[in-house]
C-alpha cells in the first residue's frame, strides 16, 4: 500500500500497515532529464545487433535467478503476495528474458513480399521510447512482459510504476544497471499519477503500454490518441469459468480455487464468474467451498501461508461492498464473506452461490478472493452468461468432449480460452483482450511486433506487367 504527498511517496506493508519506506517524487527537471537520456540512448540502442541485445537480456535473466529470493521479498513486503508466489514471478520474468533473447531475431526477420518491384519486403523497425505504466499486482512480471520484447526490438523503455510498489520499480532499475544496459535503455521514473498526462504527451515518448484499470486505460488512451501515439492496453477482466455437466468436477474445482485465490484474487485473468451447468452445480459449489476453507491465510513471509493480504485496505472495503450488496440481492455466502478485524488488508477466500446477472459480483470486476457461482440450464445459457460482460480478457471451459469444446471456444468473446486448464500468460502465446479489457497483444511474435514500425521496402525498377505474372508450368 502507499500514500502520495506533494513530494514523497510512502509505501506500507499490507500485512500489518507499517511504513516500509518514503521516496522522493521526481520533479519536472528530473523527468525531463530522464526522457532526454532515454531518447539519447535510443539513438545508439537501435543500431545494436540482435546478438548484442540478447547477450544483455540473457545476463538479466541470470541475474534475476541468482537474486530471486531477495527480489521476491521486496514484492511480498510491498503488495502482500506469499513469498513462494513472488519467487515464481521472478523466475517467470527470467524465462521471458531468455525466450525473447532466443526468438526476437526470428520474430522480426524481414518478410519477402511479391509486388511490381524487382524486390520488396516488410521490415520491423523500432519505434523509440516506449512508456510503460504498470500496476502493482504482478510488480515484476507486468514490467518484464513488456520490457524484454521491447528492448530486443530495439526500443528503449521508461517505467512509471504503481506508487505502492516503488521499491520494486527502483529494484528493477538496479537490475538493468547491474547487467550493463546503456544508461537510458531502461529508466524508472517516480511520478505522481496526476503528472502522467504531461509525460504521455511528451514528444520524446513514441508509444505507451498500460496494464491497469479501465479508467486509467481510457485516460491514457485519450491523451495518447490526442497526440497520435500507439498504445497497447491490458485492462480489467471478469473471466468466466464454464463447467459443463460432463466435466471432471473435482479437477475443475481445484483449478477454480487456484485461479481465483492465487495472488489473493488480485489478477486481471483470474477466473471470477463460475458458470456451472445445473446437473453438477451443487457438487461444484461444495468442492470449491471446501478448497476455499482449506487455504491458509496469513503472513506472506511465512512459508506455510497460501494466501496473503490484499495490497491495500481500500481494496478490502470495496470487495466487501460488492459481497454485501450481492448478498442483499439473494446471493448465499457459502464460505468467507466477513471483513476481519485487526491490522492488515486481509480478506478471506469467499464463495458466493446463487449469483445472478443482476448482482455486483457478476456485473463488476471483483479484484480479490471472491468467487461468484452462477447456475446455468445448459451449455448455450452458460456461454451466453459468459459473454454477458463488458470485459473480454480470458475464459475457461471444462468438459470431457474436446471436439465440442473447440466449437464452444469459438463462441467466447475473449482474448483467450483455456479448455480444462487454468488461464495464464505464457511467453509463447499472445496475451490480451477485447471489449473493455483493452486492445493489442503482448507476448509471442504478436507482442514484440506491437511496438515496431512495420515498414514496406520497395526496390525498383518496376517489373513489366508480363514479367510480374508468374510463369505457368
Positions annotated as catalytic residues are: 234, 268
Q: Are strands 19-24 and 111-112 parallel, antiparallel or unpaired?
A: unpaired
Q: Are 35 and 202 in contact (CB under 8 A)?
A: yes
DSSP reduced 3-state for 172: helix
Query: Quick one: cell of 27?
Result: 520533479
Nearest Cα residue to 415 out of 431, 398, 397, 401: 431
The single-letter DSSP state of residue 116 is S
SS3 label, residue 87: helix
**E-strand stretches of 196-314:** 205-211, 230-234, 239-243, 271-277
- Which residues are within 8 A (CB) of 32 and not within 5 positions of it... i.e. 6 or more apart? none
Task: Give kind and range of the element (H or E) at residue 454.
Answer: strand 452-459
The DSSP element (H or E) to which 79 belongs, if any, is helix 68-79
- The count of other CB atoms within 10 Å of the CB of residue 16 is 12
Q: Which of 345, 8, 30 is nearest to 163 (CA)?
A: 8
Amino acid at each position: 500500500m502507499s500514500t502520495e504527498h506533494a513530494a514523497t511517496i510512502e509505501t506500507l506493508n499490507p500485512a500489518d500497515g507499517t511504513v516500509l519506506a518514503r521516496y522522493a517524487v521526481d520533479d519536472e527537471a528530473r523527468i525531463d532529464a530522464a526522457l532526454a537520456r532515454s531518447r539519447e540512448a535510443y539513438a545508439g540502442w537501435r543500431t545494436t545487433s540482435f546478438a548484442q541485445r540478447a547477450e544483455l537480456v540473457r545476463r538479466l535473466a541470470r541475474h534475476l535467478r541468482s537474486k530471486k529470493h531477495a527480489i521476491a521479498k521486496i514484492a511480498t513486503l510491498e503488495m502482500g503476495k506469499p513469498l513462494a508466489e513472488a519467487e515464481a514471478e521472478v523466475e517467470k520474468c527470467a524465462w521471458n528474458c531468455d525466450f525473447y533473447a532466443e526468438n526476437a531475431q526470428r520474430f522480426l526477420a524481414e518478410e519477402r513480399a511479391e509486388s511490381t518491384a524487382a524486390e520488396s519486403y516488410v521490415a520491423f523497425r523500432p519505434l523509440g521510447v516506449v512508456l510503460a505504466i504498470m500496476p502493482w499486482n504482478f510488480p515484476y512480471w507486468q514490467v518484464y512482459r513488456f520490457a524484454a520484447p521491447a528492448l530486443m526490438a530495439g526500443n528503449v523503455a521508461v517505467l512509471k510504476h504503481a506508487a505502492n510498489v516503488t521499491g520494486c520499480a527502483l529494484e528493477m532499475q538496479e537490475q538493468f544497471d547491474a547487467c550493463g544496459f546503456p544508461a537510458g535503455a531502461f529508466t524508472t521514473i517516480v511520478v505522481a499519477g496526476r503528472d502522467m498526462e504531461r509525460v504521455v504527451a511528451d514528444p520524446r515518448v513514441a508509444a505507451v503500454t498500460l496494464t491497469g484499470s479501465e479508467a486509467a486505460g481510457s485516460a491514457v488512451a485519450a491523451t495518447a490518441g490526442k497526440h497520435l501515439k500507439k498504445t497497447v492496453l491490458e485492462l480489467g477482466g471478469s473471466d468466466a469459468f464454464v463447467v459443463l455437466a460432463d466435466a471432471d468436477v473435482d479437477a475443475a474445482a481445484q483449478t477454480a480455487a487456484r485461479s481465483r485465490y492465487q495472488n489473493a484474487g488480485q489478477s486481471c485473468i483470474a477466473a471470477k464468474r463460475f458458470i456451472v451447468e445445473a446437473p453438477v452445480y451443487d457438487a461444484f459449489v461444495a468442492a470449491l467451498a471446501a478448497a476455499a476453507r482449506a487455504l491458509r491465510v496469513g503472513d506472506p513471509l511465512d512459508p506455510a501461508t497460501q494466501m496473503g493480504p490484499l495490497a491495500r485496505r481500500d481494496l478490502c472495503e470495496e470487495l466487501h461492498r460488492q459481497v454485501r450488496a450481492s448478498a442483499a440481492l439473494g446471493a448465499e455466502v457459502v464460505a468467507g464473506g466477513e471483513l476481519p478485524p485487526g491490522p492488515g488488508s486481509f480478506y478471506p477466500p469467499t464463495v458466493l452461490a446463487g449469483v445472478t446477472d443482476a448482482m455486483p459480483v457478476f456485473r463488476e470486476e471483483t479484484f480479490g478472493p471472491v468467487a461468484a457461482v452462477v447456475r446455468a440450464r445448459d451449455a448455450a445459457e452458460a456461454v451466453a452468461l459468459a459473454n454477458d460482460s463488458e470485459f473480454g480478457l480470458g475464459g475457461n471451459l471444462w468438459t470431457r468432449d474436446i471436439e465440442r469444446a473447440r466449437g464452444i471456444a469459438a463462441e467466447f468473446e475473449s482474448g483467450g480460452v483455456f479448455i480444462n486448464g487454468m488461464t495464464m500468460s505464457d511467453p509463447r502465446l499472445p496475451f490480451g483482450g477485447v471489449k473493455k479489457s483493452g486492445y493489442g497483444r503482448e507476448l509471442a511474435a504478436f507482442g514484440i511486433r506491437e511496438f515496431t514500425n512495420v515498414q514496406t521496402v520497395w526496390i525498383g525498377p518496376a517489373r513489366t506487367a508480363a514479367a510480374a505474372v508468374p510463369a505457368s508450368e
